[in-house]
Amino acid sequence: MPGWDRYVHYYKNWGDRVSIKRRLLLSNIGMVLLPVVLFLVLEMIIGYLLFYPVKGEVDQGDLNFFRSIRIYLLVGVLVLTNGLLTFLVSKSIIKPLLKLKSAANDISRGNLDTKIEVFGGKDELNELAIAFEIMRGRLKEAADIQKQYEKNQKELIASISHDLKTPLTSIKGYIRGISDGVANTPEKMERYIYTIEKTSDEMESLISELLLYSKLDVPNVPYDMRELDLVSYFDHYLEELRFNLAGQNVTLSLECQPNQSYRVHADRGKLNRVVANIVQNSLKYMNEENKELMIRLSSKAAEVIVEIQDNGAGVSKDELPYLFDRFYRTDVSRNSATGGTGLGLAIVKKIIEGHGGAIWARGGIGQGLSICFTLKKGGNDWKEF
């Protein structure tokens, strides 16, 4: 069990322990019993040494000496044993407290990298040390997430600035051309206005994608999870898509095994965005005369795998892991011709991970591109919609 999670496990599965209360009680009992036992043992040893060699009557002087020694011996034993027990018990309590105090000071100063030592004994102090370590681990995890979030936000702002600067420059150039009288014919004027309108639409699309991505980037985004039959869902989706693509040479098909369950937990609205982004991305880059788009469903024990495959030019295997990165484009010149924000598949990844699923891509140059993702299977206790 890596990291501080093992402390959580240890903390929740606590066994018998020598508590501080029990330790102090045993110490007090020891302060009474141990001096008595030690005094009796020492008294017997000294008496043996003094009187065993004597064969006749015991000398009264030796007896008085022995009696006086017993008093000093008793006081010495009491001081020694009580002092030693007090020192050992206080050390076992004070030393861990000092370490916890030092750790608390480090945490208060923002130092979350120093691990808190968990002591050997099973007592309240060890319990407290484990709780401190769990707290430190969670604070460090939250701090790391915050740092990563801030880094992502900076990268996002830099990418936004770059992607908005190009269309703004284009719009300004065409507006200046109109104001300077360069568009001196109706045809030029129409072309200039059309370009400005198209570029403005691209900027609007980029801003909408950025707003959606920013919302998905916030932790604990709500998902309206319900049960959904993917076969019925994709049948309706492809029927609508065929109507929208009427007149275009695109073959759409759905492949699944009969007598298999394809019911999943999903947010229908967000799933619509996932499928739409993947399909739009596929249609955008399929330059073949006969375009093909295949949706394939595979039912597993606890999940359903959805694969959306096209017969486009594909991308190199080296680029597959980066397809879901923000603003990643496999071909800059191609993207400048086809448009796009570079956020489509990044949004898809966010949504699928929000569902608790995984997403990946496969294919190669000239092999088309397949985007695959998983959704958890549904159960009878979920409401279907």
Which sequence spans correspond to the domains of the chain? 18-120, 153-217, 226-376
81: which residues sit within 8 A by CB, 6+ positions away? Answer: 30, 31, 34, 35, 38
Q: Work out the number of other CB atoms within 10 angstroms of the CB of residue 372.
A: 17
Q: What percent of the chain shows pLDDT beyond 90?
A: 15
Give the pLDDT score at 4: 43
Give the pLDDT score at 383: 43
Give the pLDDT score at 333: 35
**Which CATH number applies to 226-376?**
3.30.565.10
Strand partners, 363: 369
Assign 295 a pLDDT band (cuts: 50, 70, 90). very high
Average the pLDDT over 95-108 and give the result: 76
Q: Per mean pLDDT, which range of 132-136, 163-167, 170-174 is the poorest? A: 163-167
Looking at mean pLDDT, say which of 52-56, 150-154, 198-202 comes out highest: 198-202
How many Cα neighbours within 13 Å face the side chain of 365?
5
246: which residues sit within 8 A by CB, 6+ positions away? Answer: none
pLDDT digits (tens, 9 = 90+) for 254-278: 999 988 889 999 999 889 989 988 9
SS3 state of residue 106: helix
Helix axes 60-108, 20-51, angle to 10 degrees: 160
Give the pLDDT score at 308: 94
Q: Are 288 and 311 in contact (CB under 8 A)?
A: yes
Assign 2 a pLDDT band (cuts: 50, 70, 90). very low
Q: Where are the alpha helices (DSSP H) in the chain?
A: 5-12, 20-51, 60-108, 124-179, 186-217, 230-244, 268-284, 332-338, 344-354
Q: Per mean pLDDT, which range of 6-15, 42-51, 92-101, 122-131 is the poorest? A: 6-15
Global pTM?
Answer: 0.53
Assign 97 a pLDDT band (cuts: 50, 70, 90). confident
Per-residue tokens: 211: 């707003």
pLDDT, averaged across the chain: 76
Alpha-carbon span 2 to 140, nearest angstrom: 15
In the CATH hierarchy, which fold is given to the domain comprising 153-217? Helix Hairpins (1.10.287)
Q: Among all chains, which residue has been given the structure tokens 């990418």?
A: 159
